Amino acid sequence: MEEAKDTHRDAEKEETEVPKGQIWFDKTFLLLALSILITGLIYTGWGLLELFR
């Protein structure tokens, strides 16, 4: 009977733990800001590269 309680507690613990990747992907405004920042840096770098070539 104790083993059944322990497995139930383990199952509850596993359900409450949220993976770190999911935490990052749940922050939509952070992802939006990162995508705009990365895109802006790439296009700015590309433009500067074309100017100085």
* Domain extents in the chain: 19-53
Which residue in 29, 49, 30 sits closest to 41, CA to CA? 49
Looking at residue 16, its pLDDT comes to 84
Please give the chain's pLDDT, 53 residues, in tens: 556 666 666 666 667 899 999 998 899 999 999 999 999 999 999 999 999 99
CA distances from 41 to 1, 10, 18 (A): 60, 45, 32
Q: Is the pTM of this model over 0.85?
A: no
